[in-house]
Chains A and B, each alone.
Chain A
Amino acid sequence: MLKVRESNFRKFYNKIFRREKDITRPKVMNVVVFVIFALYCFTLLYPLFWAFLAALKTNNEYMLVNKNGFPLAPTFSNFVTAYKSMSVTGTSMFAMIFNSIWYSAVGAFLNVFVCAVTAYVLARYKFIGHDFLYGLAILVMVLPIIGSLPSQYKIYNLLGISGSPLMLVTCIGGFGFNFIVLHASFKSIARDYMEAAFVEGAGHFGVFFRVMLPQAVGTMGALFIVMFIDRWNDYTTPLLFLKGMPTLSTGLFIYKTIMNRRMEMPVYFAGIFICCIPTVILYAFFQNQVMNVSFGGGIKG
């Protein structure tokens, strides 16, 4: 009987923690690491779950009766209230969502596209000034510039782009993290494709747009998603430079500051969950692409 029990336990253990074909997993460490990872995941998920439960409670229940338990009478009305009542400096939540979309999507697209163009030219062509520009791109990444914010503030105001969608021109960039990733990506594409296209009579623009760019779409898509999410969650830049056009992240921060103690926390929790929905959906659908972003050779050399 004991033998049968042992063998069942062994089967269960093997099923969970080992795979016959996979020799790369250390056995004891696998269990220890699994436990540590599971605990860490619990700490990341539980607070969100707790906040979600809080968003399903009435303010009275949350404040006076039942702050930590399951809602006595779950209600989604806080989500509707959040959508209707959370307005900041005359901007409704709908307008904030709209601002978030253009700020994130157009900004991310501009940056990734321009980085792709720069990366392709520097990865695939040798021309006068090539080494200088590549060196500059690396230098920009490792130069420890601190606190250029005051100067940015002055210059953006001087250019008249502060407080308007024209702020998006600041996203163009062309160098930086995305450049490094895309440079590695274009370097890894076989030169034969390019040469075959030239032999077939394609021009430089044709080769780029019709042969090379489609091959980097996967990497570009992953970078777009990462950048979109990053900009969606960014609250400092819109706070300083898009004062009349709060995005959802900025709006939630301002709303919290304005309302302070008068704020109904369940409604606020509902608001922050509305803010999360697009990024969570994007990440859920494209997590495999995002996970494959790599530096290639990095900035070494």
Chain B
Amino acid sequence: MREFFKKLFTDRDDMPKSLRRGKYVFCYTMLIPTIVSFAVFYVWVNFNSILMAFQVNTGGRNYIYSLDSFRQIIEFLGRPDHDLRIGLNNTLIYFAVGVCINLPLTYLFSYFLFKKVTGYKFFRVIFMLPSMISGIVYVTVYINVLGFDGPVYTLVKKLFGYEIPSLLANNATATPTIIMYTLWTGFGTSVILFQSAMNRLPREVIECGQLDGISWVRELFQIVTPMIWPTVYTMLVLQVTGIFAGGGPILLFGTNGGNRTMTLSFYIFRAVYEGAGTEFPAAVGVFFTLFSFPIVLIVRYVLGKVDPGVEY
């Protein structure tokens, strides 16, 4: 332990002596805004979050500290129809869709853009549109295109004689509709990151594989993936880090969490937005943060073991 801290706080410098003194002034001065901002907007905010999780308002500005909020959370999670339980289920579904469908698809899309599929310049611009244009625009358009008398509704009615029901007003279809939306619009930024990592690969390596006649599947998994592993690792870890924070733009879909569209993040947002007390939502945040810690650590550990050890 002592060695660890010694290592952290030791000056290991190869800079000439004449520049060292000024170096400290420079480094610490430049870091002041970051450190102050981190202390106030990260440490204080999160420490206060933990305090709030144990607070129970007894009227006015009086609080007592107890585990009541956590007891309530466990109780609510036991009720299948409670918003919190629905929120947890939906959040996990969004996470599963993100990791199992969205991320692999994004990776494939990026690979084919990297392979310069015909029209790749045009495609990569269009794929980014949902990230560039406000969610308000795409959600409004999505609702109206699928909605009553919209183009999709009219086309399906003409072709199959089937009238698409109001998807957001139905418990069974509301969340799948929003999940479809997140899938439809979810390729943007990750495509950039994967693709720019792939673009930095040495072209000779790819050409060697091509000359040996390897298939694109082998090229993708045995050449490209090991070589851009740090980016793949980062994307996977970030995805897992947001395990309980994911969800679609519930607010914009106008369901207000009804019709079983609730997610954990929207549950917390709604409570704050509607001024329905901040202590219980804070406890919800802390509760799920505690659960996600070991998950993230395990995933990091497991992925950390997968080291292709490729350097170029």
**Interfacial residues, chain A to chain B (CB-CB below 8 A):** 16-17, 22-26, 29-30, 33-34, 37-38, 40-41, 43-48, 50-51, 54, 67-68, 114, 117-118, 120-121, 125-129, 131-133, 135-136, 140-155, 159, 169-170, 172-175, 180, 198, 203-205, 208, 226, 229, 232-233, 235-236, 239-240, 249, 252-253, 256-257, 265, 268-269, 272-273, 275-276, 279-280, 283, 287, 290-300
Q: In this assembly, does B173 line the interface, its C-beta being within 8 Å of a C-beta of chain A?
A: no
Using A51-B140, A295-B230 as known contacts, say yes or no to A132 and B49 having CB atoms under 8 A apart. no
Q: In this assembly, does B13 line the interface, its C-beta being within 8 Å of a C-beta of chain A?
A: yes
Which of A30, A40, A121, A233 is in CB contact (< 8 Å) with B134? A233
Contact A240 B272, beta carbon cutoff 8 Å: yes
Q: In this assembly, does B42 line the interface, its C-beta being within 8 Å of a C-beta of chain A?
A: yes
Q: List 22 A-B contacts (CB under 8 A).
A: A22-B116, A37-B112, A118-B34, A126-B11, A132-B8, A140-B42, A145-B46, A145-B289, A146-B268, A148-B45, A150-B271, A151-B48, A154-B52, A204-B22, A232-B134, A240-B269, A249-B136, A252-B136, A256-B140, A295-B234, A296-B230, A299-B234
Instruction: Report how far A129 CA is from B264 CA in the complex, Å.
Output: 37
Interface size class for chain B?
35 or more
Contacts of B19 in A (CB 8 A): 198, 204
Which of A144, A173, A233, A299 is in CB contact (< 8 Å) with B289? A144
Contact A149 B269, beta carbon cutoff 8 Å: yes
Using A149-B272, A175-B34 as known contacts, say yes or no to A68 and B150 having CB atoms under 8 A apart. yes
Contact A149 B281, beta carbon cutoff 8 Å: yes
**Interfacial residues, chain B to chain A (CB-CB below 8 A):** 7-16, 19, 22-28, 30-31, 33-35, 37-38, 40-42, 44-46, 48-49, 52, 109, 112, 115-119, 122-138, 140-142, 144-145, 149-151, 154, 184-185, 189, 192-193, 195-197, 199-200, 203, 206-207, 210-211, 215-216, 229-231, 233-234, 237-238, 240-245, 251-252, 254, 264-265, 268-269, 271-273, 278-279, 281-282, 284-286, 288-289, 292-293, 295-296, 300, 304
Q: Other than the known A23-B211, A125-B26, A293-B193, what 14 A-B pairs have Cβ atoms closer than 8 Å?
A: A37-B123, A44-B126, A44-B185, A144-B295, A148-B45, A149-B268, A151-B46, A151-B48, A172-B41, A174-B38, A232-B134, A235-B136, A235-B252, A265-B144
Contact B115 A25, beta carbon cutoff 8 Å: yes
Instruction: Report how far A46 CA is from B207 CA in the complex, Å.
Output: 38
Instruction: Report how far A268 CA is from B144 CA in the complex, Å.
Output: 12
Interface centre among B127, B136, B238 (most CB of A within 10 A): B136
Interface centre among B8, B35, B199 (most CB of A within 10 A): B8
Which 6 pairs between the two chains have the least Cβ-Cβ distance? A147-B285, A174-B34, A298-B234, A150-B278, A204-B26, A151-B49
Contacts of A296 in B (CB 8 A): 230
Instruction: Report how far A164 CA is from B76 CA in the complex, Å.
Output: 37
Instruction: Report how far A150 CA is from B40 CA in the complex, Å.
Output: 15
Which of A41, A46, A141, A155 is in CB contact (< 8 Å) with B48? A155
Closest CB of chain A to B299's CB: distance in Å? 10
Which of A114, A236, A297 is in CB contact (< 8 Å) with B251? A236
Instruction: Report how far A106 CA is from B199 CA in the complex, Å.
Output: 32
Closest A residue to B209 using CB positions: A24
Contact A50 B151, beta carbon cutoff 8 Å: yes
Using A172-B33, A239-B273 as known contacts, say yes or no to A135 and B8 having CB atoms under 8 A apart. yes
Instruction: Report how far A241 CA is from B7 CA in the complex, Å.
Output: 42
In terms of DSSP, what is the predominant structure of the interface of chain B?
helix
Which of B15, B35, B124, B231 is in CB contact (< 8 Å) with A298? B231
Contact B281 A51, beta carbon cutoff 8 Å: no
Closest A residue to B49 using CB positions: A151
In terms of DSSP, what is the predominant structure of the interface of chain A?
helix
Q: How many residue-residue contacts, CB under 8 A, span A and B?
A: 320
Closest A residue to B26 using CB positions: A204
Using A26-B216, A291-B195 as known contacts, say yes or no to A153 and B272 having CB atoms under 8 A apart. yes
Instruction: Report how far A275 CA is from B133 CA in the complex, Å.
Output: 9
Using A43-B184, A144-B292 as known contacts, say yes or no to A294 and B197 having CB atoms under 8 A apart. yes
Instruction: Report how far A183 CA is from B232 CA in the complex, Å.
Output: 18
Contact A44 B130, beta carbon cutoff 8 Å: yes
Instruction: Report how far A289 CA is from B7 CA in the complex, Å.
Output: 38
Closest A residue to B245 using CB positions: A146
Which of B33, B48, B133, B281 is in CB contact (< 8 Å) with A233? B133
Contact A50 B145, beta carbon cutoff 8 Å: yes
Instruction: Report how far A240 CA is from B252 CA in the complex, Å.
Output: 15
Contact A295 B289, beta carbon cutoff 8 Å: no
Which of B7, B193, B244 is in CB contact (< 8 Å) with A144? B244
Contacts of A132 in B (CB 8 A): 8-9
Instruction: Report how far A155 CA is from B41 CA in the complex, Å.
Output: 9
Closest CB of chain B to A245's CB: distance in Å? 17
Closest A residue to B289 using CB positions: A146
Instruction: Report how far A95 CA is from B51 CA in the complex, Å.
Output: 39
Contacts of A142 in B (CB 8 A): 237-238, 241, 296, 300
Contacts of B245 in A (CB 8 A): 144, 146-147
Contact B133 A294, beta carbon cutoff 8 Å: no
Interface centre among B27, B38, B278 (most CB of A within 10 A): B27
Contact A143 B268, beta carbon cutoff 8 Å: no
Closest CB of chain A to B295's CB: distance in Å? 8
Which of A129, A205, A300 is in CB contact (< 8 Å) with B26? A205
Using A34-B117, A204-B26, A235-B135 as known contacts, say yes or no to A146 and B48 having CB atoms under 8 A apart. no
